[in-house]
Structure 1
């Protein structure tokens, strides 16, 4: 069995030789533990200029893929063998005849070795792309460099930024994926997240919001910007972006920061009923509005009434308690037609007015 100390020294020597190659110096003498170097004349042929040839391999993500170990098969006498990722400067696995196979780093649960000492990748991803070498029986340099490329879905795009918005639209832009993994971006999916929480962005719980509905819109090209339409006024939204290439979709981007669309006049109508309580008073009642149609802070109700034969004189009352759903109008004239109107209001103004005609009962005017 090979000792740990021996393997450590062996790897150090291998690293030193590679360093010598890259620095264009030549090792020509060894004295004790000291190395002596001489600068190499670039005009002279050098042994270290002989680089291992490179073989190129491609596959698609989620496939299994096997690298052969150049110079090794089931009939080769192998006492010791290593697979290395040169791109990540990490050991993938180590085989010792008397000790078996040891797997390292992020490959522990993702690779195996076959009887011909080939390296088997399971369910490959773009992270597996890179250069690999196989070293047999303590060789310091490989005969062949294996360059591996995985064609995969894109990396996630950058977090979308909201550059402009109105009550019903928002302009987004984002950074394209850092890696397209050998397949060009074809389009994006914009994930529109409509949050159910009310628009209070200073609420610390907003950052933890998971109560939202999702709508998705696909862009028609690879431009990293888009205008989202069809939003609701005075509503909390956030957005995510998914990139697509010919292989498929990326993971979603980080969500954008929250935004609240601008207010509009209310759209909510308030149907109500009315009945006489006396010859001079009317009782009215209604149901609360659909809060999504208020389009802003719900400030209350505006109640108006006027005599039908004297429309120039209109009386009104503001009910600023949004939980109120009934009211009595008093001081009316007996046996008189009245036009009654009810609407909601927000900081932008009044919503549509719902109206009814009612005739007060006959009787004397109450003192």
Structure 2
């Protein structure tokens, strides 16, 4: 029983002690330092106010009995637990009454100090002076040193360092110092900082302020510096377009922060899309960027871009510690230019005064193509302005060109044609090479027996035949040759020349109209012949008793799995195109079908 009473008594004593130690009271200002300080005009000084209070006091500062704002430019206030710091910047008044005010719900306390400000004329002979030698920038978590050279100071104890307006205390692994005597009047006080980090609670900026204050009996002099903490650069702001040309674009942007930047990378690539407004999934991320390096924030990417083409741009900042994240995607279309040359002009002979004209669009449309211009004449030496001209909308190609019936006679030997393309933005492009339209005694027959020999998910082996007699007839008429007797040597030479100038245009048939411009695939007969040899090609006719029937095979790759195709084929000898073959329909296999066959 006695033991229980003793325990209860002990607990009561402890509870009472704790209650007394945390008893609510009005705040008491323990100290305001320094007291009655003196600085030179435009000088800096830091005051410290320490308070004892429970509950915690709210600390504020006054100047000449007026409360200072927390956001004042000339008076910077930093608060801690029961402590507050006031930094006076660029002191200007001759005398200031500085007061520290501490308040809580119980009461308040106030203490005043006097700050005297001297002009240069009033400066005492032995007033202290300080200057700082420092690195302009440092890397995170690395040791660096600041040197403060002080004159008119009897003891190094009169030096106080501050970081971000807070006094630095020593005796820990973060900061340490030493000093050396330079001469009878100068002391060098060194501050060593064992690494700065962005995660430190002492600051929230990557530009760190340090202050070295020297105080003697005449007053206080402070030297200030800012050190840049080098980090990976922030993402630049922008980019924005300043000027657009047909083959180049000028961009500008701003640094994303105050980190040191060595240079910028401008990453750009072509964007393939017909949409007016692009989303992120419209950009082909598989294509590689081109890279342009610059130290400027304004640059011209140029002289190699294609006109009227969409390009995506991103900017990355780089320094010794790494790269920033790339900026958002900027998609810009280069300015339009006149279209390039019309390509692959060819024609099909229909009768004495009708020709079906075909061509490919220019490789460089440089804008939105709206039509072709077909110039034609029987007087090739006439200036182009005197040729007949027909404007043909893009969707009306191929175009059936009608020759004046008066020229469709035996006296008509040749007719001539040139073409140009016109875009909506800048008009007509250059004229094509002259194409001679020849007359023939009949139409150019189409390839026949157009079929598939083998099908897979991504390729189809196509086969067709062509009549050698037809080719020879058109070859001779085109070259104005009249051969009555053929030697074996001449026949071999002629057949070689035909194969060298023979191509096949494979068209992808649309749902409602026959294909217009560029062929789906273009195949040179010579490439096909090389696979089996020219002699074997012609010898097959005799072996198979198929007189003058040339067999061709072509492996059409890069097809889409499980897709239906409708193909038509035409032969082209020089610029003369044959009639179109019958349509070949087939569907490629599904990828899963191919995978099943590969299983063991």
- Same fold? TM cut 0.5: yes
CA offset at residue 9 of structure 1? 4.3
The residue aligned with 1:190 is 266
Determine which structure has greater relative contact order: mean sequence separation of CA pairs < 8 Å that are 6+ residues apart, divided by chain length: 1
What is the distance in 1 between the residues matched to 2:312 and 2:419? 35
Question: Which of 236, 241, 248 is 1:162 aligned to?
Answer: 241
Equivalences for 1:1-367 in 2 at 5 Å?
9=55, 15=80, 17-19=82-84, 25=99, 33-42=106-115, 127-128=198-199, 131=202, 151-180=230-259, 183=260, 185-198=261-274, 203=276, 205-206=277-278, 210-212=282-284, 214-219=289-294, 222-229=295-302, 230-256=304-330, 258-290=331-363, 293-308=364-379, 311=382, 313-320=386-393, 322-332=394-404, 333-334=408-409, 335-347=412-424, 348=426, 349-361=428-440
Considering only aligned residues, what root-mean-square deviation do their CA atoms show, in Å?
4.4
State the 1:287 CA deviation: 3.6
Contact 2:372 2:420 in 1 (8 A): yes
Q: Deviations over 1:198-252 (max 9, x none)?
A: 4x7xx4x336564255322112xx3221111121111223422211112222112
Quick one: distance in 2 between partners of 1:207 and 1:289? 28
Q: Which structure is higher in helix share?
A: 2
Q: Would you say the 8 A contact 1:126–1:149 is kept in 2?
A: no
Q: Are the structure 2 counterparts of residues 19 and 319 from structure 1 closer, same or farther at C-alpha, using a change threshold of 3 Å?
A: same
Alpha-carbon deviation of 1:11? 9.0
Structure 1 residues 234 and 11, CA gap change in structure 2 (3 angstroms): farther
Instruction: Note closer, same or farther for the CA distance 1:125–1:299 as it changes in structure 2 (3 Å cut).
Output: farther
> Per-residue CA shift, 1:161-182, capped at 9, x if unaligned?
22222111122222123221xx
Q: CA 1:41–1:358 in 2, change beyond 3 Å: closer, same or farther?
A: closer
SS at match of 2:278: helix
SS of residue paired to 2:202: strand
CA distance in 1, matches of 2:248, 2:312: 12
* CA shift in 2, pair 1:40/1:60, >3 Å: closer
Q: Aligned partners of 2:113 and 2:196: how far apart in 1? A: 42
Q: Which has the larger radius of gyration?
A: 2
Q: Evaluate the alpha carbon distance shift between residue 331 and residue 338 of structure 1 in structure 2; reply closer, same or farther with a 3 A threshold.
A: closer
Task: Please list the CA deviations of residues 30-64 of structure 1 after superposition, one character each: whole Å capped at 9, or x if unmatched.
Answer: 99921222213458xxxxxxxxxxxxxx9856x8x
SS at match of 2:299: strand
Aligned partner of 1:69 in structure 2 is none
Describe the superposition over 1:50-83 as per-residue Cα deviations: whole angstroms up to 9, x where unpaired.
xxxxxxxx9856x8x9xxxxxxxxxxxxxxxxxx
d(CA) in 2 for partners of 1:284, 1:168: 32
Q: CA offsets per residue over residues 80-112 of structure 1, 9 Å max, x none?
A: xxxxxx98xxxxxxxxxxxxxxxxxxxxxxxxx
* TM-score, length-scaled by structure 2: 0.37
Give me the whole-angstrom Cα distance separating, in 2, the residues matched to 1:282 and 1:27. Answer: 101
Q: Is the 8 A contact 1:173 1:224 kept in 2?
A: yes
For 1:31 and 1:278, the matched residues in 2 are separated by 108
Tell me: CA distance 1:244–1:356, structure 2 relative to 1, closer, same or farther (3 Å): same
Secondary structure at the residue paired with 1:128?
Answer: coil
1:20–1:172: structure 2 CA closer, same or farther, 3 Å change rule? Answer: closer
CA contact (8 A) 1:270 1:286 kept: yes
Q: Conserved in 2, the CA contact under 8 Å of 1:162 and 1:173?
A: yes
CA contact (8 A) 2:56 2:104 kept: no
Deviates more, 1:345-354 or 1:226-235: 345-354
In the TM superposition, residue 299 of structure 1 has moved relative to its aligned partner by 0.8
Distance 1:300 1:318 in 2: 7
Deviation at 1:186, TM superposition (A): 1.7
Conserved? CA contact 2:341–2:430, under 8 Å: yes
What SS class does the counterpart of residue 347 from structure 2 fall into? strand
Contact 1:266-1:346 within 8 A present in 2 as well: yes
Q: Which runs of 5+ in 1 are unaligned?
A: 44-57, 66-85, 88-117, 119-123, 133-147
CA contact (8 A) 2:57 2:104 kept: no
